[in-house]
Structure 1
């Protein structure tokens, strides 16, 4: 190992002695600065120092054909300052190399986790593949600032995505960073998505069918080529069940004697019990699958449950003049009918299977007639209030 003062000219002309693979030249002017000269002609600057455990460390600074001698000396001075402050620069660099990109974290940690623990993992996979990873996948998880997440959110909206869709993507991004911090992944710190507010949603825009609209819809469904569609919609209106809960329902889940239906795996991930009404019993007794198939509604083409009923449903709702009605609005309408009939929110909560009453309140629509009746009741406390119009003072 040679020891001499490095100059830019020496760095450019230095050669490795014959018969050696490499030669190290230690600079006499800058403590710890070393130039490696290889037999291949390559030259690299290193910082050589002793760490806290008295072990010699060699930290690569850069290719000498790119990094100048002055820059290398300046960098060595900075590293000496770090050591004086109690930090180990090589250990810091090694830790930084262990910090994964968001794409690596999703691939190696997140997807294996949710595939075994989350029923809707395929939805996450789609949102990640189409929206999040194309933007942030190649960036280290410690190099994604809040400003970039905010810009990402507004770009989604500018592309025409609904506020609810933008919120689902943002919530998933928040969840990724929260899990990274929980699992103590290298580089995971403050969540850059935490301070980005969700878009406000207009929860009043919900559709509740009137009795007349239900009758019109059922009349159209009676002529649908899908002979099961009418029964499926009636089932949804009589139970308030979610579409997939109905399509996957099996006869073994029903106890007609005790009037109960136990959904083995609801949206919450647990089983829930649904009370069976007299009209529902009557409907179940008419289903052609009874005693012939394990499923309530069996697709005759596959002998398995329907995967979806979109085409038949969409055709029927348009013919009934209800093109704006979604199939999930049948669940809304079930709750609305109950509330307008005087049933309490707690009862509706239990029938819908909501864990929190706040969720049920979104479905607790009251018809105009019900509200007017309530207002008239309040007016009854004032004698003559109905007969005497308001007169400006």
Structure 2
């Protein structure tokens, strides 16, 4: 292993001795730098060093036809600085070789995981297959950049997808990368989808039924050709349950003695318990039962849960003069009735099964009148102590 001060001019005269496969020339001008000269004529720059564990390693810098002497020295100096900080270039390169491409990771790791807990895993698979894989599927995980994610997100929108559809794509790819990092996938240290903003939709106006509107709707569903709608709609209004939770309800999940309904699978993936009021018990008592049918509100023709009830619902709400009311608004209305009855947001959160407090906070403004009455009651009770001028309730001006 000859050692010498390598020069650009002197490199041309370096040759592999006859009978040898290769020879290494060590550069005295740069610690650890060497040039491998092969009998075939090929030349390659290497850096020889000791890793943080004290083991001698050799790292390929590049072909001498592509890297000049000065470039090789500069690269070697840079790598030695990183080695001094505890990095191992050879080890890091080996890790990168193990980094999977996005499609392989999705189908080998993410999808089996999603199938174990996510009801909509097939939607994830469809989104990936149709929109993500064609653009990024063959790229290694560590090669995908934030710019790639933005291009994917905005490209989906430019192709005509709705904002919500493009956002679902972004949410999926962000979660896939989060799992890759959590599972310590080789080469993964940061999520390129982190910080990419979703497309903001204008806030959807929430519709709350008044007691009078609830009465009209109740009368209208009694006239529906769908005989189960007269039970389904009151069940939605009186429990605040989600549409699919009611349509898929089973008798075995109801404990009528304890006035409790256990919903085994919810949006959060966990079971929750819904208290049953006297009104709900009356609805359940009136629901017709079918032999050997486990469903509470089955389609009488199939004895299986309804796939959807939009047509019968649409007719009923139109008859009631409530064409702008959606089925999900019945859940909002239930929450508004709770708040206006003086129940706390904590109670609303637990009954509706919200996992995040901020979801329930949307109903906070509905409690204003109740809170105002509470404040006035304090003022009235202290009227004698503080004097009439502080204790008298002064009507508030309309906002």
TM-score between the two structures when normalised by the length of structure 2: 0.71
Q: Gaps (5+ residues) in structure 1?
A: 8-22, 38-42, 63-67
Q: 2:65 aligns with which of 58, 62, 69?
A: 69
Instruction: Check whether the contact 1:345–1:361 (CA below 8 A) recurs between aligned residues.
Output: yes
Mapping for residues 1-393 of structure 1, pairs under 5 Å: 31-34=34-37, 69=65, 81=77, 84=80, 86=83, 91-156=91-156, 165-199=165-199, 205-289=205-289, 292-318=292-318, 320-364=320-364, 366=366, 370=369
Superposed displacement of residue 74, structure 1: 7.8
SS at match of 1:273: strand
Superposed displacement of residue 318, structure 1: 4.7
Instruction: Check whether the contact 2:57–2:90 (CA below 8 A) recurs between aligned residues.
Output: no
Range moving further from structure 2, 272-281 or 204-213? 204-213
Instruction: Check whether the contact 2:21–2:39 (CA below 8 A) recurs between aligned residues.
Output: yes
Superposed displacement of residue 99, structure 1: 1.6
Q: CA RMSD in A?
A: 4.4
Instruction: Check whether the contact 2:251–2:295 (CA below 8 A) recurs between aligned residues.
Output: yes
SS at match of 1:69: coil
Instruction: Check whether the contact 1:236–1:331 (CA below 8 A) recurs between aligned residues.
Output: yes
Alpha-carbon distance in structure 2 between the residues aligned to 1:366 and 1:105: 47
Superposed displacement of residue 149, structure 1: 3.1
Alpha-carbon distance change, 286 to 187 in structure 1, aligned in 2, over 3 angstroms: same
Alpha-carbon distance in structure 2 between the residues aligned to 1:145 and 1:328: 38
Superposed displacement of residue 6, structure 1: 9.3
SS at match of 2:330: helix
Alpha-carbon distance change, 324 to 102 in structure 1, aligned in 2, over 3 angstroms: farther
Q: Gaps (5+ residues) in structure 2?
A: 1-9, 13-19, 28-33, 381-389
Range moving further from structure 2, 180-189 or 45-54? 45-54
Superposed displacement of residue 135, structure 1: 3.5
Structure 1, residues 72-125: CA drift from partner, whole Å, max 9, x if none? Answer: 878866775566554766554433222222222212211111111333423433
Instruction: Check whether the contact 1:163–1:200 (CA below 8 A) recurs between aligned residues.
Output: yes
Alpha-carbon distance in structure 2 between the residues aligned to 1:190 and 1:90: 21
Instruction: Check whether the contact 1:35–1:44 (CA below 8 A) recurs between aligned residues.
Output: yes
Range moving further from structure 2, 244-253 or 301-310? 301-310
SS at match of 1:206: coil
Alpha-carbon distance change, 26 to 363 in structure 1, aligned in 2, over 3 angstroms: same
Partner residue in 2 for 1:19: none
Superposed displacement of residue 195, structure 1: 2.4
Instruction: Check whether the contact 2:22–2:37 (CA below 8 A) recurs between aligned residues.
Output: yes
Superposed displacement of residue 184, structure 1: 1.2
Instruction: Check whether the contact 1:220–1:316 (CA below 8 A) recurs between aligned residues.
Output: yes
Alpha-carbon distance in structure 1 between the residues aligned to 2:212 and 2:367: 13
Alpha-carbon distance change, 281 to 50 in structure 1, aligned in 2, over 3 angstroms: same
Alpha-carbon distance change, 28 to 281 in structure 1, aligned in 2, over 3 angstroms: closer
Alpha-carbon distance change, 215 to 385 in structure 1, aligned in 2, over 3 angstroms: closer
Instruction: Check whether the contact 1:261–1:276 (CA below 8 A) recurs between aligned residues.
Output: yes
Alpha-carbon distance change, 26 to 109 in structure 1, aligned in 2, over 3 angstroms: same
Instruction: Check whether the contact 1:102–1:136 (CA below 8 A) recurs between aligned residues.
Output: yes
Count of paired positions? 364
Instruction: Check whether the contact 1:46–1:60 (CA below 8 A) recurs between aligned residues.
Output: yes
SS at match of 1:304: coil
Alpha-carbon distance in structure 2 between the residues aligned to 1:222 and 1:36: 94
TM-score between the two structures when normalised by the length of structure 1: 0.72
SS at match of 1:195: coil
Alpha-carbon distance in structure 2 between the residues aligned to 1:374 and 1:158: 52
Alpha-carbon distance change, 44 to 97 in structure 1, aligned in 2, over 3 angstroms: farther
Structure 1, residues 103-162: CA drift from partner, whole Å, max 9, x if none? Answer: 222122111111113334234334433444444333222223334434544455555655
Alpha-carbon distance in structure 1 between the residues aligned to 2:161 and 2:45: 51
Superposed displacement of residue 258, structure 1: 2.2
